Chains A and B, each alone.
Chain A
Amino acid sequence: MNDNKNAEAYWRANLRLILGCLVVWALVSYGFAILLRPMLSGITVGGADLGFWFAQQGSILFFIALIFFYSWRMNKLDKQFGVHEE
C-alpha cells in the first residue's frame, strides 16, 4: 500500500515537472517567436527584433536548457522516491 502511494506521488511529481517544462517550451517557440512577436517588436536585437532572435536562436537554446533541467530534476526525483536504477 505504502509502495503504491509512493509510486503515485512520484508519477504526479513527474507530470507536474513535465507540465512546467512544456509551458516554457511553448512560450519560447509558439509564444515569443510566433504569436507574441508583434508585441515584442519594440525590443531590437542587432538589426532585428527579439521575436526574430527567439525564432532563429533563442528557442533552440531554451530547448537544450529545458532537457538538461528536466533530466537533472528527474534523476533527483528517482532517488528521492527510491525508484532509481541500481
Chain B
Amino acid sequence: MSQFAINLLFVCGSFAIYIGIAIWSRAASTKEFYVAGGGVHPVVNGMATAADWMSAASFISMAGLIAAGGYANSTYLMGWTGGYVLLAMLLAPYLRKFGKFTVPQFIGDRFYSSSARMVAVICLILTSVTYVIGQMTGAGVAFSRFLEVSSNTGLIIAAIVVFFYAVLGGMKGITYTQVAQYVVLIIAYTIPAIFISLQLTGNPIPPLGLFSDHVASGTPLLAKLDSVVRELGFQDYTADVPNKLNMTLFTLSLMIGTAGLPHVIIRFFTVPKVADARWSAGWALVFIATLYLSAPAVAAMARLNLLNTIYPDGPQQAAIRYDDRPDWIKNWEATGLIKYEDKNGDGRIQSYNDVPAFKETASARGWEGNELTVNNDILVLANPEIANLPGWVVGLIAAGGLAAALSTAAGLLLAISSAVSHDVIKGWVKPDISDRGELLAARISMAVAIVVATWLGMNPPGFAAQVVALAFGIAAASIFPALMLGIFSKRVNSAGAVAGMLAGLISTLVYIFIYLGWFFIPGTANLANTPDNWLLGISPLSFGAVGAIINFAVALSVSAVTAPPPVEIQHLVESVRYPRGAGAASDH
C-alpha cells in the first residue's frame, strides 16, 4: 500500500469515528448544547479538556520551538501546564458552582452590569477568533502534506467535519469527539517518541530517555547535544537565560492566559459537582502532561537526529552531499518547509549558526553561509520519517495533527457561538426567546462562526504569527483578573471591574502594537522589536502578566473610591464560594 493510501485510511477512519459520534450525540436542549447536559464524568471531562486545550501549536509547533531554543523555550512547557493549577484553585470550582452557561454571563451577573458582560464578550471573541485562525491553518498544512490536496480543499473538508458534530451536538457532540480525538492524538505523538527514544538511548520512556546516555557515543544525551551544537556555532542547548525577568513574565503570561481562556473554562461547566470540577482539572493535566513530558524529549532527540543526518561523521567532518540526502528531506523540500541553497558550491549541505562570532571558524572550513533552513513546525510531523519508522506511523501522525487542530477549533467555536447566542441574543437583544429559539440561534451562530473561521483560515491576516501572543495577552490581562476578583473580593464593584478590564486590555494591546505595528499593519511600529528597545527588557509577548497586574490595581483602586456592590451581589459571591447547592443550578 502506498504512503498516500495509508494516510488516507487513517484520516478517513478517524473522521468516520467523529461523524459517528456526532449522529449518536445530538443535542436536544440548550443545556445539552452549552454544557453537554452537565453530567460529564470528571475523568472524561479531563480527557476532553486535554484535547480541547492541546492545539496544533502543542502538537505540531511546541517540540520544534523547544528544539530550536533549548532551555530558553521551557517557558512553553511550564506556562501551558502551570495555568491548570490556577484554574483548579482560583476559578473552576466557583464558576461551576455559579452554574450558568458562559463566562461573560458570570461577569455580567457578578458585576450587575450589561456593559461588563459586553466587554467580556468582546474579549472572548477577540481571544477565540485569533486562536481559531491558527487551528484552521494548522489543519490546512497537515492536509496538504499528507493527503496531497491543496490546503484550501483540506480546510473545507475539515470545516465540513467540524460542522457536522459541532452544529448537531454542540458541547455534547464536542465532548465525546474530543475524547476520541485525544486518544488519536496521544497515540500519534507517543509512538514515534518511544521509537526515537529507544533508538537514541535504549530507554523506551521518552522523559527518562532525555536524561539517559546516548547509545552511539556513550555520553549523556544532553551533553552530547550541547557539544554538537557548540561545534556549529549555536549556544549550548541547556544554556541559561540572562534575562530572567522576561522569562519569568513570559511564563506567567502563558499561565494566567491559559487559566483565562474561555473555551477551557466552559469545559468545567459540564461536570455534575464542584468537587468534580477540582478533580477534573487534575485529570486534564495528567492527560496533557502525557504529551508535555514527552515533548522536550522529542525536541532534543529530533534535533540531534537532524544534525547527525547532516553531519554523518560528526560536526567536525564534512557535511552530507546534497545528492545523498534522505527521502524525507526531498518530501519536505516539495512543501517549501525545508530549503537548501548551495552557497559555496561544494554540493554539500552545511547547516550552522550564521552569526559574526562564528564567521572565522566557518570561513576556515570553507563555508559561505548557512545553506539549510528548516521550518520548526515540521519536526514532529517529519519525526517518523527522520527516524525511519514504518509507513503506518506516518499515517498516524497525519490523523493526530488533524485531531489536535480540529478538537481545539471545535471548543473555540463553541465558546464563540455560545457567547453570541446566549450573551448577546438571549442576554441583550431578545431576552424572552424560547429554549427552542435559543437552540436554533446557537446552531446558526455556530454555523456562521465555522464559515468565518474557514474563510480566515484560507486568507490568514498578515499578523497570523503574532496571534498566539495576542490571544494569551488578552485572556491574561482582561478575563482572568475579572473572574478572580469576582470570586475572591466582595468589594470590587461594577465600575472597578469594567475600568480594570479596559485598562488591562488597552495597556496590553498598546504595548504589543508599539513593537509589532498598530493593528499589526506593517511599518506602523513605533520602536523596533528588539530586546534593547523593550521596557525593562520585557518583550511584547510577555506583557500579558503586566497587563493583568494593571487590571488588578485599577479594579481595586476604582472600587475603593466608589460605592460597594449591593447586598444581593455580596450574597452571590458567598454562594459561589460554598459548594452546597450546585446541583440545584443544574437539572439533575
- Per-residue CB contact flags for chain A residues 1-18 toward chain B (1 = under 8 Å, else 0) read 000000100110010001
A18 touches B278 (CB 8 A): no
B window 146-198: CB within 8 A of A: none
Residue B238 at the A interface, CB < 8 A?
Answer: yes
Distance A47 CA – B182 CA, assembled complex (angstroms): 33
Q: Please count the residue pairs between chain A and chain B whose beta carbons lie under 8 angstroms apart in the complex.
A: 144
30 A–B contact pairs at CB < 8 A? A7-B578, A18-B89, A30-B252, A33-B78, A34-B241, A35-B244, A38-B240, A47-B220, A48-B211, A55-B78, A57-B210, A57-B296, A59-B81, A63-B84, A63-B285, A64-B285, A64-B289, A67-B281, A68-B279, A71-B282, A74-B275, A78-B275, A78-B579, A83-B578, A83-B579, A84-B275, A84-B580, A85-B579, A85-B580, A85-B581
Nearest first, the 7 closest Cβ-Cβ pairs linking A and B are A47-B220, A46-B211, A47-B222, A55-B74, A71-B278, A67-B282, A47-B223
Please, which residues of chain B bring their CB within 8 A of the CB of A52? 71, 74, 222, 238
Residue B202 at the A interface, CB < 8 A?
Answer: no
Distance A49 CA – B74 CA, assembled complex (angstroms): 14
Please, which residues of chain A bring their CB within 8 A of the CB of B71? 52, 55-56
Chain A interface (Cβ within 8 Å of chain B)?
Answer: 7, 10-11, 14, 18, 21-22, 25, 29-30, 33-35, 37-38, 41, 45-49, 51-53, 55-57, 59-61, 63-64, 66-68, 70-71, 74-75, 78, 82-86
Please, which residues of chain A bring their CB within 8 A of the CB of B282? 64, 67-68, 71
The smallest beta-carbon distance between A6 and chain B, in angstroms, is: 10
Please, which residues of chain A bring their CB within 8 A of the CB of B53? none
B247 touches A34 (CB 8 A): yes
B window 66-89: CB within 8 A of A: 66, 71, 74, 77-78, 81-82, 84-85, 88-89
Chain B interface (Cβ within 8 Å of chain A)?
Answer: 66, 71, 74, 77-78, 81-82, 84-85, 88-90, 93, 207, 210-213, 219-224, 226, 238, 240-241, 244, 247-248, 251-252, 273-275, 278-279, 281-282, 285-286, 289, 292-293, 296, 574, 577-583
A71 touches B85 (CB 8 A): no
Please, which residues of chain B bring their CB within 8 A of the CB of A53? 211
Distance A50 CA – B244 CA, assembled complex (angstroms): 17
Please, which residues of chain B bring their CB within 8 A of the CB of A68? 279, 282
Please, which residues of chain A bring their CB within 8 A of the CB of B247? 34
The smallest beta-carbon distance between B60 and chain A, in angstroms, is: 19
B240 touches A48 (CB 8 A): no
B222 touches A59 (CB 8 A): no
A57 touches B207 (CB 8 A): yes
Distance A30 CA – B75 CA, assembled complex (angstroms): 10
A55 touches B77 (CB 8 A): yes
Distance A11 CA – B97 CA, assembled complex (angstroms): 15
Please, which residues of chain A bring their CB within 8 A of the CB of B279? 68, 71
